[in-house]
Structure 1
Amino acid sequence: MLLVYTHKISPRLKYVFKHICIRVLGIQVEFTTKIEAFIAHDSLKMSYTKQQLGSEFFIKSHDILFEQGLSDVEINVQNWENTKGFFFNGDKSAMPFDIFASAFYLLSRYEEYLPHVKDDYGRFLATESLGYKHGFLHQPVVDIWAYKFKEALQGHFPDFEFPARTYSIRPIIDVPSAYLYKLKGILRSLGGFIKDIFTLKFKRVYMRFMVVSGLKHDPHDTFKYLINKQKQTPYKFVFFFLIGAFSTYDKGINVNKKKFVSLIKHVADYCKVGLKTSYFSIEDISILKKEKLQMENIINMSLCSSRQSFSKLNLPESYRNLIELEVKEDYTMGYVNHIGFRAGSCTPFLFYDLDYEVQTPLKVCSYHLMDYTLLKTKSLLDKKQILNGLIREIKQVNGEFVPVFHNYTFSTDTRWKGFKDLFNMILESAND
């Protein structure tokens, strides 16, 4: 156990130390404000305060962990060996940067509460982030800092044995619509035929007719392939089905269709199933509650996981709604158009509510790659290089890789050519 001496045990301090020590490094941590208790402790210990007590392992503290609410924090990002650091704390500290204050800033999504430019969907842009602006978005810096902290501690306590953790994967399959043509209803199918004819898409007219009449397989029905892939790996895929009402933004299958319900139940026999919340439920908890209950009735168990439509988050309201409805995990934290680590970590973390200054029970499982981002890269070889680079970053800290693919990514559509190979690379990366 690591004992931390500090002048004040604040909620922020407890939150970030527990993430780094327990979740990343696997060691227990306790806190004290009493020098006598600190001196008496005969195992791992450190002081985290403004002044060093003596010759102990000491990291000089930044004020952010002892504040409440938001303030105009000055951030000066600097190079630090193979990565970046901020909140420089001088020469007397065992580490040149206050990694706990820095990690809190990123994990709490402090910057998303500050004024920023949003995209057309009201989302926080990757280009607005500290990570993008200072060139460390591609690194899980919180985990890298944690391992630097571990190395520094080992230098001070060479006899202490740290537990090892291993690299893992958690593939996400996003299902905004289970089928391209099937189960769309008479009016939607007729409207699709008319639109395809007027836009001279005669191949789609033919394909739609063949699928609707039951003569061909629906192009987006890739579930048999995915279930077979699941059987080949011990890492559970998490499917997120959209079951919300048809709208301008959401064009899924009607949840009253028995064949759609049967599909969800079938997938749930092999994989984990969560709720892809509809666009309008993001700001309306009554719609969210209705969708949650519908999904629970389908899978016959409490809903554990959610993923917001269009990867849209309104902090802290989006997460407060999930907490109120007792959803345990969320997979929305990430960027649709950029690869990298939105919260600076490849370790799931608990959401910290900056308004209430409290650690919540909601586990945030941030994703690091969405299939769409790889469409910008033309050649399959370049896509593989990018993917390998990302996997290498996560493996260096034995983290958890969370990629987001869609059911239609595994179709025969030419734009997704080679994506099955990329998915296989991810699955095989856990065996290397």
Structure 2
Amino acid sequence: MLSKKIRQYLIDFLVGPLWLQSEGEDRYQRRFDAIGYTDDPEEMKLFPIVIIPSGFFKREYYGTPRTLPELPLAQWRGIPLLFGEPREEWNADRTQLIIHADIIASTYFLISRYEEMCRRSERDDHGRFLGKNSLPYRAGFLHRPIVDEYGEALRSILLESGITERYRLRMEERPTTFSKVNLTHDLARPYNYRGWRSFLRAWLKEKKPPLQALRLSFSADVEDDYYTYPKFLKWDRELCDKLGEDRGQIMLFIRMPSRHPLDKPLYNPRSPYIRRVLAVGAKYKARLGLQCSYAAGHRAERIKQERMLFEKIFRQKPRGLRHNKLTSCEPEDLLQAYFSGFRNDYTMGYADVVGFRLGTARPVKFINPNTRLLTELILHPLILRDLTLSDPRYMALEQAEAEAVATDLVRTTARYNGELNLLWHNDLLSPQAHPWHSVLYRSILRLIEELGTESPVSPTHH
């Protein structure tokens, strides 16, 4: 069965903590457990709402293929249901509601990435579990944060049933706008040409005339195709200032070097070229995160070494972690990140399709599906990534299609008070490198500004 700690975390994640009204200045101090997750007759008496377990967590079933949901999925209140039955029933005097839809197991399945643990043999050439193989994609709800939909349905039940009024409860407010916006950029290719190595590449490999190769490699930074930092960081800063310091953040993820072929182009984080990029980032108040090398994505013990190198070079702690090519896919990788001192991971998006990989638009604590233990590592859902939208290997969308998909996901994130995490690379924001990503990114920022002001909230108590 599920531990009490995780059970309470999941219920709180869905509906938020409930507080009893009492006398005195601080009238809401004592918590009230309105929702139980049990089929024990005696324990059921303690709760006005009871969710009946489906058997997903039973020792003899957990971790086996028989726990994987079969398609098509049933619908509970218009939301895809992974486990249990889509029905509810009141007791005779209407003081207790029994919900047979096991939305606790359904939530756990998604936010713990349980499916990926059970299907370890299904990985691409980079060791990633692909979104197109996932249940959310195959069932057609990857674009919906159904965990947040479960929570909204439960909150509505608490209000409409009169339970909040009967027990004089207060629920936390959830505005229909972003809780936070993280504008993140990976410095995978900080420059197109810079230094002697670039000169040799341009001259010997690309067969450019020596003078042209020299000019490309040693001209002013602003003449390099990929030097888009002043442009997009200015856009980012303007938006963050409008959202407010606590709701808008710019992050630059700096990749640590390795000798793996897929960590090319190799650049030295100590180089003056990188220092100049970071000086521009500092001007616009960008925070620094660590992008683990591709090698670390396959040898997790390198994560700690790369963190130590980052701190030695930049004399600060990284604000978060992301893996090169989003290769972090196993629980062991996340545990290694946690033991290496990280408390924020920004890798949680599929490489091949955009959407809600964790089933939610909100940050969630990492639950290890192997051991069913709750950690303090926060997984930040990566909602949109430039390469995923446009790359021929992935979604291969045209500009209008990409904007429609992006608009829908941004609006949905705001609708559920989610944290919007975007990833756009500096090189793709160059019109010379890509025809429309710069235009699309600016359009998304304008939409975020439009939706970023706090909207009216739903009533939370009577």
- Taking structure 1 as the reference length, the TM-score comes to 0.84
Whole-angstrom distance in 2 between the partners of 1:355 and 1:224: 44
1:219 matched to 2:217? The reply is no
Residue of structure 2 equivalent to 1:59: 51
* Residue 5 of structure 2 is aligned to residue 18 of structure 1: no
Cα distance change, pair 420–107 in 1 and its aligned pair in 2 (3 A): closer
Superposed displacement of residue 255, structure 1 = 2.1
Report the equivalent of 1:38.
Answer: none
Structure 2 residue 206 is matched with structure 1 residue 172: no
- Match of 2:347, SS state, is coil
> What secondary structure does 1:18 align onto?
helix
Aligned to 1:70: 63
Q: 2:17 aligns with which of 23, 27, 35?
A: 27
Distance 1:273 1:124 in 2: 27
Q: Could you say which residue in structure 1 is the equivalent of 2:446?
A: 425
| Contact 1:391 1:401 (C-alpha < 8 Å) held by counterparts | yes
**2:385 is the counterpart of 1:366:** no
Closer, same or farther: CA 50–291 of 1 in aligned 2, 3 Å: same
Q: Secondary structure at the match of 1:363?
A: strand
Other-structure match for 2:317: 302
In structure 2, do the counterparts of structure 1 residues 430 and 402 end up closer, same or farther at CA, with 3 Å as the change threshold? Answer: same
Q: Matched residues in 2 for 1:228 and 1:421: separation?
A: 11
> Which residue does the alignment assign to 2:357?
342
Q: Deviations over 1:167-201 (max 9, x none)?
A: 32222211112111124xx244312322222xxx7
Q: With the length of structure 2 as denominator, give the TM-score of the two structures.
A: 0.79
Q: 1:74 to 1:109 in 2, by over 3 A?
A: closer
What CA deviation, in whole Å up to 9, does each residue of 1:318-368 have, x standing for no partner? Answer: 112111111111111111220111111111111112333311121111202
Identity over aligned pairs, percent: 21
Separation in 1, partners of 2:376, 2:74: 33
| Residue 35 of structure 2 corresponds to residue 46 of structure 1 | yes
Distance 2:32 2:290 in 1: 45
SS in structure 2 of the partner of residue 339 of structure 1 = coil
What is the CA-CA distance between 1:42 and the residue it aligns to? 9.5
Q: Which residue of 1 aligns with 2:459?
A: none
CA distance in 1, matches of 2:373, 2:157: 29
What is the Cα deviation at residue 236 of structure 1?
A: 0.5
Q: 1:117 corresponds to which residue?
A: 122
Matched with 1:257 is: 271
Matched, 1:161 2:170: yes
* Runs of at least 5 residues in structure 1 that lack an aligned partner in the other structure: 1-7, 31-40
Residue equivalent to 2:415: 396
Q: Is the 8 A contact 2:14 2:150 kept in 1?
A: no
Say what the alpha-carbon RMSD is for the aligned residues: 2.8
What per-residue deviation string (whole Å, max 9, x for no partner) do you get for residues 265-317 of structure 1? 55246112100110112233553233212222343222231101110124122
**Equivalent residue for 1:84?**
80
Corresponding residue for 2:154? Answer: 149
Q: Distance in 1 between matches of 2:256 and 2:418?
A: 32
Q: Which amino acid aligns with 1:47?
A: G
Indicate if the aligned counterparts of 1:264 and 1:299 stay in contact, CA closer than 8 A.
no
Query: Alpha-carbon deviations, 1:185-234, whole Å to 9, x = none?
Result: x244312322222xxx78xx887543323156111112212331232123
Give the superposition deviation at 1:146.
0.9
Partner SS state of residue 332, structure 1: strand
Q: Equivalent residues in 2 for 1:189-204 (5 A)?
A: 189-197=199-207
Give the deviation of 1:426 after TM superposition. 4.8
The amino acid of 1:229's aligned partner reads: W
Moved more, 370-379 or 288-297: 370-379
Structure 1 pair 189/406, CA: closer, same or farther in 2 (3 Å)? same
Contact 1:246 1:254 in 2 (8 A): no
**Runs of at least 5 residues in structure 2 that lack an aligned partner in the other structure:** 21-29, 90-96, 454-462
Judged with a 3 Å threshold, the aligned counterparts in structure 2 of structure 1 residues 96 and 286 are, in CA distance, closer, same or farther, namely closer
**Structure 2 residue aligned with 1:329:** 344
- The code of the aligned residue for 2:257 comes to G
